[in-house]
Structure 1
Amino acid sequence: MPPEKHALLSASSASRWLKCTAAPRFEEGLPENTSEYAEEGRLAHAIGELKVLKKCTPMSTRTYNTRLNKLKKNPLYDPEMDKTTDLYLEHITEQVMDYDSAPTVAVEVRVDFSDYVPEGFGTCDCCIIGGDLLSITDYKHGKGVPVSAVGNPQMKLYALGALRRYAAVFGDTIKRVRMTIDQPRLDSYTTDEITVEELRAWGESIKPIAQRAFSGLGEFVPGDHCRFCRGKAQCRARAKVNTALEDFKDCVPAGSIPADALVPQEHSHTGAVTGEEVHPLLTDAEIGDLLERGAQLVQWYKDLEAYATEALLAGKEIPGWKLVAGRSNRTFTDQDAAIQAVIAAGYDEALVYDRKPKTLSELEKLMGKAEFAEKIGGFVTKPLGKPTLAPASDKREAYAPAASDFAGVKADA
C-alpha cells in the first residue's frame, strides 16, 4: 500500500517544484486534501502489489486469496481493478522475461534520493534488477491524462533512489535504467531508458534547483504544472499571469472580419507601454500564443470556482458571491413500486419497459478487453473523430481532411 507520508520535495511533484521552486513551501501551509479517486488509486495499487508478490515471490494460494478477498471488501472496490491490475501484472511479467536470467523483483520499495534532493524519499511500485539493467515501473490508476515516462523527473528520482538502495548488493554492475509508466485504464504504456551515467549527471544538475525549493527561496512560475498544486486557486502569481491577458483587450483576430473590412496598416496605434506601432489585428503567431494562455485562463477560472464553492460550503464568505440550488431532475423514491402502480393502472408491461442492448464500452467492461476483441472485435469500427484543436506538442498525428473520408472503411480480405 502506498505510504501516507510524503516528502516536501516528493518525486511525484517533481515536475512542479523543478519549475516553480516556490511551490513546496507555499503548499506546506495549506491543508492537504484527499479524494475518492485518490483512495481508489491506493486500493488498486494494493491489489496490483499483491498480484506481483504472488507471481514473483513465495506466497501460498491461501494467503493470496485471503488478502485479495479482504481488499475486495473495501467499499471502493470495482471489478475493473481486477482487469487493470491483471494487465499491470502482465506487463511486469513481460519485463521479467526480458532478462537473460531470473532477476530480483521487489514491490513498494522505499527509496531515498536525498543525495540529490534535500530529505527526498519516495516509493517505487516495482523494481526489477538483473545483469546490468535496473527496471522501475510506476502504476497509475487514474483516467485523467496520459503521463509519459520519457524524461519524467519522478521516475528519474525513483531510479536514483533505487540505485542507492541496491548499491551494497549490486555495486557498479548496473549500467542502464529502464523507466516505465503503466496506465491501463488509458491504454498508455510508455518506457524510457538511459545510462546510469546520464541519470547521475541529471541528478547533479537539479541539486541547486532542489536546494532553492527546499530553502523557501524559490520563485513562482505558473504553468501546466499548477494542476495538482494545493494553492492553485489562491496563488497570486498565477492570478497575475492570467489577468495579464488584458494586454490584448483592444485586439481582434484578423480572420474574424471580412477581408474588405480590414483596418489599413496606417491605422495602427501606439502601444501604451512600449511606444511601438501596434496594429489592431492580431497576427496568427499572437493567436497561437493566446490559445495557449487562454487554456490556462479557463483552467484557472475553474479552480477559482471550485475553491469558492468549497469555501462557501464551509461557511466562509466570498464577497459578491453565494451558493444557489442548481437545476435538478425529478426522480422516483421507489422506481419498482412506481412501475408496478403503472401496470396495476392497466398499462401493458411492454409499454412500460424498454429493451435495449448494452453499449460498446459496457460490453467491453463486462467481457474484458481480450475476450471482447476476440469475440466481437470484427464488428467494431472507429471512425475518425472531428477535428479538434491541440498544441503542436500533442503526440497525435495532425488531422488530414482526406483521411476522414476513408475512416472506418475496412479493406476487403
Structure 2
Amino acid sequence: MRALDDIVVLDLSRVLAGPWCTQNLADLGASVIKVEKPGAGDDTRGWGPPFLKDPETGAQADAAYYLAANRGKRSITVDMATPDGQKILRDLAAKADVVVENYKLGGLKKYGLDYASLSKINPRLIYCSITGFGQTGPYAPRAGYDFLIQGMGGLMSVTGEKDEFGGTPQKAGVALADIMTGLYSTIAILGALHQRDRSGAGQYIDMALLDVQVATLANQALYYLVSGNAPVRMGNGHAAVVPYQGFPVADGFVIIAVGNDGQFAKLVTELGHPDWATDPRFTSNGARVTNRAALIPLLEAETKRYTMAELIAALEKRGVPCGPINTVDRVFADPHVQARGLQKTVPHTQQGTVPSVASPLRLSASPVSYDHGPPLLGEHTDEVLREQLGLDAAQLAGLRDKGVI
C-alpha cells in the first residue's frame, strides 16, 4: 500500500508550483492525470538546455526542467478550448478526488472547469487553485512569476551581500516561491482530504505565491513585526547568531554554524585562541552579534591557515557544526548523499531510464516508489480515457481526428 493509492488527481497545472504539488501527491501513491495541450504540452518541456535526445532520431526531446517536476504521472492531451475537450475534463473531474490548476484568475470559468461548476457535479471534489496573488485583492488579476514574487515578497531584500560590500538584492538560485507554494498546496490538499473523510464534502483551496513567500519570511518577518525595523541583507551571515556564516580557507570556503557558547569555545580553542571565549565582547551570542565587526575578521585570519578538509576534520572532532559549500556535482558525490540514495533512476518510455532525485518523504509503512518516470506528451491519453470514461477505439479515433485529443 501507498499512502494515497486510492486518490485520483486531475492535474490542470503546468510549469513548477502546481506540478511540484502533484508530483508530491504522485510520490505518495495518487493516480495523477496530467492534462496537456495537444502538440505543445507543459511549457517546461521546452525550457532548456539541457534536453534529452530521442534515441532513435537524435531529435530534441524533453528538457531537464520538465523531468524535475513530473515523475509518476500519466499525461493526456486534451484541447479544453473545444466543447468535446471540456466534456472530457468535466467527466474526469466527476470521478476525481482532487483538481489542481494554476490558470489566471477566472481563467477556467469560461470552459466550465472552475470550482463552482465542477463542485456541482462532484460535491466531494477538492479543488486547489494556485495563482501569483490569490483570488482576492487588487493584484488578483495579475500574472505571478517566481522572480517577481521573491522580490515583492521580501525574500530578495534579505538575500545577497551587504550594501557596504557592493551587494545588491539577489534571488535564490532555485525558484523557491514556486517550490514552497507547491509544498504548501500539498499540505492543504492532504488536510482537505482528511476533512472530507469526516464531512463527506470537498472544498476550495486558494493558494497564492505571494502569501507563501511572505509566510516563509519566518523569523525575518517577525524581526520586523516585533522591532519595527526592516531586516537587511547580511551576505552569508546570520542576523541573530554569530558566528554563523562562510569562512575563507586556503582552497575555498567552510560554513561554520555556532549555535551556542560552548560550541564557540570549542571553535576558538581549535583556532588557537581559547581566550576569545572569555573576552567580554564575545562571551555570549548577544555580545558576539553586537561585536560582529570585531570578531569576524579575527576568525577569518585563522581559518585561512587551513584547507577545507583540514578545518572540517578538526572542527568535527570538537563537535563544532561545519561543512563545505558544495557545487551540485560535489553534492551528488558526497558519501552521505549517496548513502541516503538521493540520486535515483526512473523508467522512461523513450529513454529506457532517466535520472531523478529522491523524494525526501520517508514513510516506513507506505514508502515512495519510483516505478514511473515523467511521461511523454500524451503518452497515456487512450489508456486514461478508456479506463476512466470507458471510451472505445472508435470514439478515441473520432476525437483525435477532430483535434480534441
TM-score of the pair, normalised by structure 2: 0.24
The structure with the greater share of residues assigned to helix is 1
Q: Which has the higher contact order (CA 8 A, sep 6+)?
A: 2
Q: Which has the larger radius of gyration?
A: 1
TM-score of the pair, normalised by structure 1: 0.24
